[in-house]
Amino acid sequence: MLGPELALAASAREWPDRVHRFLLDHGGGRVRSRVMGAEQTLASEFEVLLIDDICSFLTPRLIRRLRDQGREVIGVFSPEDGPDAKRRLLECGITDVIEGDATPEEFLQIVRSTLAHRGPVSVVKEILPSTGFRVGVLSAATGSGCTEVAVALAGHLAKTEDVVLLDFDQSHPGVSQRLDLPLHPNLRTAVDLAHHDVSKLDEALQAVGDIRVVGGLAVPAHSGSLPVIELTGLLEDLGATYPMLVIDLGEAQGAVSVKTDARVVVAEASPVGLTRLVRAVEHETSTHGPDVLAVVSRVPGGGHRSDDIRAELASALPEIPTVILPEDRRISQAAWSGELELRGPFARGVGRIAHLIAEEAARDG
């Protein structure tokens, strides 16, 4: 009998190595994994997680998900850090606590006691809360007008639904600047509240007309600066209250990989833009499914340009709905003043996108 199966969270303290060495030398349990992050923790197989109060990925959400899976969590703290260290662990919902300078035998004893006193783990069909209908807006290449489409789309959808517009473009966030919003609160604020105090999540939302907005990072970072699991948790929490989430994902290449129900891929009206649009749409349909809409933005008026673009895309992407958005001076003026503009030919085109999205959401609902 190998004893309980453990996971040890990464720590700068010495207790994980001490416990691991003891189990290797004396048995009584087995370390299945040394986990370095929340996603790895959730994907690992173990019965009990040992994690200390200073662990960077310790959050109430992680503990809740582990407990829902029938796993137990024991928090490790240093008495030298005072009562706040132990209190933080208990507030996260962990099963029990132990001091970091305890002996390996004491660690093993509390693990066994925790497993002995837990109730039977039953398989219960999980009832998932509403997660909202998620629309991801991507750019086939930088500078195609993706943010403008996301802003206008959120504005149109907000006429009939409670909508949150989120800026997940961590390299070139632009929603706050476009709508003349302060840099704080922003995406990082919202993620922190979602994982530590979801009851205050609305404090991270800024109002623009009928839209609620989560602005992008105050300091742009490389793609993936915020882990996908944290962004997904934020979407889950917002979706429990708001039925429609519009997410500005930025450039398709390197966009954060969160699950969406529909994707809108935007490109500029040029031969290069159309080529990139076709490639991006083909990639999105192959990796995220068929619910993709192709958009060509800022098409010059006059002539047969729109007809030529439609014909070319119908040939290259025969199964993909396409919307043409004409050049519109109102949008340029609105961008300079930081205002939401839902009039004019560009806005009417985005209104057609909103109609298609609403139809898809109704089918899914």
Residues 6+ apart with CB under 8 A from 196: 59, 60
Average pLDDT rounded to a whole number, residues 10-32: 94
Same domain for 144 and 18: no
Q: Residue 133: its pLDDT value, please? A: 97
pLDDT above 70: percentage of residues in the chain:
95
Q: Residue 130: its pLDDT value, please? A: 61
Residue 126 lies inside a defined structural domain of this protein:
no
pLDDT digits (tens, 9 = 90+) for 145-177: 999 999 999 999 999 999 999 999 988 999 999
Same domain for 138 and 113: no
| Cis-peptide into 185, omega within 30 deg | yes
Domain containing residue 36: CATH number: 3.40.50.2300
Tally the domains of the chain: 2
Same domain for 260 and 144: yes
Residue 127 lies inside a defined structural domain of this protein:
no
Final residue in a domain of this structure, among 117, 143, 162: 117
Same domain for 139 and 106: no
Same domain for 102 and 235: no
Task: Find where tokens 């083909």 sit.
Answer: 282
Domain containing residue 229: CATH number: 3.40.50.300
Residue 125 lies inside a defined structural domain of this protein:
no
Same domain for 289 and 182: yes
Report DSSP letters for 312-334, one per residue: HHHHH-TTS-EEEEE--HHHHHH
Same domain for 40 and 188: no
Q: Residue 126: its pLDDT value, please? A: 43
Residue 90 lies inside a defined structural domain of this protein:
yes
pLDDT digits (tens, 9 = 90+) for 232-284: 999 999 999 999 999 999 999 888 889 999 999 999 999 999 999 999 999 99
Q: Residue 123: its pLDDT value, please? A: 42
Its domain, for residue 244, covers 133-364
Q: Chain-wide mean pLDDT for the chain?
A: 91
Residue 51 lies inside a defined structural domain of this protein:
yes
pLDDT of residue 288 exceeding 90, the answer is: no
Give the phi and the psi of residue 267 in degrees, each rounded to 5: -140, 160
Quote the distance between the C-alpha of residue 27 and its chain's center. Answer: 40
Same domain for 300 and 168: yes
Residue 122 lies inside a defined structural domain of this protein:
no
